[in-house]
Amino acid sequence: MDQIIEDKELGRLIIHVNPRAKRFIFRTRNDEITITIPPKTSLKEVKVTIEKLREKLLISKKNVLTTHINLDYKIQTDFFELSLIQENQERFLAHSEPGKMKIICPTNANFEDKKLQIWLRKVIEEALRRNAKIILPPKLYMLSEKNQLHYESVKINSSRGRWGSCSAKQNINLSYFLLLLPEHLINYVLLHELCHTKEMNHGEKFWKLLNMLTDNKALELRNELKKYKTNF
């Protein structure tokens, strides 16, 4: 279970224990900072480290660039579409259905309001999460069966640092931000994680297997993926 620290300067700090972590890892976004820590790390150690890095974390938070969401903002990918429209009403309404979301905004909406930006982002992320849980596990299963690369479990998470990961126990985690990718890159990420069920590192055997499963386009697809980010 993640722990949360509310800091007057840094905002929300989410403390996440990762059994494979060997050091502290900080990831910053506009309204929160995630701190990944090794097992058996005490809260006191975490707080001491935060204080040591406070100035750097404040600078990092200030430099994080996030998309400004307003009436011109849209998402249109193979599996998810988002639009914002304005109507004569007093409050925001979010209409969501499989693969689509429409946010209806009042005429007096102030898109410069920080709290509104945070709310809009959370609403959109929740829609991405719901759709990802419907779309990604079946796609992973089909690719698994087709290529005889079996895994133990799959979970959908909010990772901004990785599109996906595979543990030594063959448990696969997928970021719901994958829905922001075109389908061929989603398939590439899923195949990438499935290949880790055979080859846990990124050695020659891993790339040979992934290359075979992607019509010899593994490196080309990897370079294309670098143009995208695990956020919006």
Type and span of the H or E element at 155:
strand 153-157
Per-residue pLDDT tens over the stretch 113-146:
988 998 999 999 999 999 999 999 999 999 999 9
Could you tell me if 142 and 216 lie in one domain?
yes
The CA distance from 151 to 154, in Å, is 8
Query: Quick one: 68 exposed, middle or buried, by C-beta within 10 A (0-12, 13-18, 19+)?
Result: exposed
At residue 30, does pLDDT exceed 60?
no
Assess if residue 70 is contained within a domain: no
**Residue 115 structural domain:** 75-130
pLDDT band at 110 (very low <50, low <70, confident <90, very high): very high
Could you tell me if 136 and 115 lie in one domain?
no
The CA distance from 169 to 191, in Å, is 17
Per-residue pLDDT tens over the stretch 204-214:
999 999 999 99
Task: Determine phi and psi for 16, rounding to 5 degrees.
Answer: -120, 125
Last residue in a domain, options 15, 30, 63 = 63
Beta strand 100-106 with 171-175: parallel, antiparallel or unpaired? Answer: unpaired
Assess if residue 69 is contained within a domain: no
- Residue 36 in contact with residue 25, Cβ under 8 Å? yes
Last residue in a domain, options 130, 154, 173 = 130
Could you tell me if 80 and 163 lie in one domain?
no
Q: How many domains does the chain have?
A: 3
The model scores a pTM over 0.85: no
